[in-house]
């Protein structure tokens, strides 16, 4: 893996995970970045420096022609390096926010505990694995699946207060914590990060899908986009990574980093917020 941006003058992190003069050039002779180096590259900003109590990052992959999936799955767009970064972003997060359709279509399972993140997570006051927070209005979900009934840390279900009460009861019976973040049947995306932060979940990662991401963009709550660009063209009618309502003014981001492996670009963009926001 190569870092393309920031360039070497700004590049304080050696692929071994060490910094400055103590870098050991041989530690990553094969070009492989350690998990620790990746974790450093993707660290969440501290609230003191970002001014944000909650930080919502999205991790998405797109084909060269803008498709967010192929034959209903994102896996055909992914790679080994993409999965490594996917794992690192999970390892850093307090909670993974995901749309119900992605859960249904991709057969989501609970996040697992990984030894390599154990010390870092404990030091950051995090649980052994991120909680999965499923966003749904209809709650047409199978609560007997391991994601809901056998997670390492309880799975959350984020919905509106007018969600079907029998489904809310079924979720609770399975051990799911139900979070209401909206007055009607749907979640008010602007309230979602705050509702999770109230539960101590501040470092948020959304893994999509495109319709949920569209809602989060419309709600003006996305702080960062980690976008992997796969060197593949799929054609067809798959949606883009954001599938939401038109917004009045395009949202601007600044480039925070670019890594490359096997022709995949792993970009990281951070939201430019106006001082009044």
Ligand X SMILES: NC(=O)c1ccc[n+]([C@@H]2O[C@H](COP(=O)([O-])OP(=O)(O)OC[C@H]3O[C@@H](n4cnc5c(N)ncnc54)[C@H](OP(=O)(O)O)[C@@H]3O)[C@@H](O)[C@H]2O)c1
Q: Which of residues 225-264 bind ligand X (CB under 6 A)?
A: 241, 243
Residues contacting 138, CB < 8 A, separation 6+: 100, 164, 167, 185
Q: Cβ closer to ligand X: 23 or 265?
A: 265
**Contact call for residues 72 and 105 (beta carbons, < 8 A):** yes
By CB under 6 A, is residue 196 in contact with ligand X?
A: no
By CB under 6 A, is residue 211 in contact with ligand X?
A: yes
- Token code pair at residue 96: 């993974």
* Cα–Cα distance for residue pair 180/16, rounded to 1 Å: 43
Closest CA to 210 of 78, 105, 64: 105
By CB under 6 A, is residue 73 in contact with ligand X?
A: yes
By CB under 6 A, is residue 267 in contact with ligand X?
A: no
By CB under 6 A, is residue 79 in contact with ligand X?
A: no
Number of residues that bind ligand X (CB under 6 A): 30
φ and ψ at 211, to 5 degrees? -70, -40
Please spell the DSSP secondary structure of 23-75, one letter per residue: --GGGGTT-PPPHHHHHHHTPPPPHHHH--SSEEEEEEEEETT--S-BTTBSG
Q: By rule CB under 6 A, what string of x and - marks binding of each residue 145-184 to ligand X? A: ----------------------------------------
C-alpha triplet 159, 164, 169: angle, nearest 5°: 85
Sole residue written with tokens 């949920």: 212
By CB under 6 A, is residue 266 in contact with ligand X?
A: no
Q: Cβ closer to ligand X: 18 or 223?
A: 223
By CB under 6 A, is residue 70 in contact with ligand X?
A: no
When binding is defined by CB under 6 A, the residue of 215, 234, 267, 270 that contacts ligand X is 215
When binding is defined by CB under 6 A, the residue of 15, 91, 99, 151 that contacts ligand X is 99
By CB under 6 A, is residue 1 in contact with ligand X?
A: no
When binding is defined by CB under 6 A, the residue of 15, 110, 130, 189 that contacts ligand X is 189
Task: Compute CA distances 190 → 20, 54, 195, 239, 244, whole Å.
Answer: 41, 12, 10, 23, 14
Among 45-53, 79-87, 125-133, 211-219, the segment contacting ligand X (CB under 6 A): 211-219
Among 13-21, 31-39, 186-194, 256-264, the segment contacting ligand X (CB under 6 A): 186-194
By CB under 6 A, is residue 110 in contact with ligand X?
A: no
Question: What is the C-alpha radius of gyration for the chain, rounded to an integer number of angstroms?
Answer: 19
DSSP H helical ranges for the chain: 35-41, 47-50, 80-92, 100-106, 115-123, 146-149, 165-173, 192-197, 210-218
Among 11-19, 21-29, 102-110, 252-260, the segment contacting ligand X (CB under 6 A): 102-110
Q: Which residues bind ligand X (CB under 6 A)?
A: 60-61, 68-69, 72-74, 99-102, 105-106, 135-138, 140, 186-187, 189, 207-212, 215, 241, 243
């Amino acid at each position: 893996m190569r870092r393309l941006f920031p360039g070497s003058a700004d590049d304080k992190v050696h692929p071994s995970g060490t910094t400055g003069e103590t870098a050991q050039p041989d530690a990553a002779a094969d070009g492989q970045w350690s998990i620790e180096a990746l974790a450093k590259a993707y660290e969440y900003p501290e609230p003191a420096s970002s001014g944000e109590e909650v930080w919502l990052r999205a991790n998405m992959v797109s084909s060269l022609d803008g498709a967010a999936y192929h034959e209903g799955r994102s896996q055909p767009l992914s790679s080994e390096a993409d999965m490594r970064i996917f794992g690192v972003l999970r390892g850093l997060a307090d909670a993974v926010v995901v749309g119900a359709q992605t859960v249904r279509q991709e057969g989501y399972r609970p996040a697992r505990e990984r030894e390599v993140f154990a010390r870092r997570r404990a030091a950051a006051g995090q649980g052994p694995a991120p909680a999965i927070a499923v966003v749904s209005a209809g709650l047409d979900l199978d609560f007997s699946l391991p994601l809901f009934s056998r997670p390492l840390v309880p799975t959350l279900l984020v919905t509106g207060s007018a969600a079907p009460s029998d489904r809310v009861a079924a979720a609770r019976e399975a051990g799911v914590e139900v979070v209401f973040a909206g007055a009607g049947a749907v979640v008010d995306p602007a309230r979602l990060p705050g509702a999770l932060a109230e539960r101590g979940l501040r470092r948020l990662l959304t893994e999509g899908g495109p319709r949920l991401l569209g809602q989060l963009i419309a709600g003006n709550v996305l702080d960062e986009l980690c976008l992997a660009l796969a060197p593949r063209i799929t054609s067809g009618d798959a949606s883009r990574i954001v599938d939401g309502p038109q917004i009045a003014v395009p949202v601007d981001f600044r480039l925070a980093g670019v890594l490359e492996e096997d022709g995949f670009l792993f970009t990281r963009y951070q939201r430019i917020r106006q001082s009044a926001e």
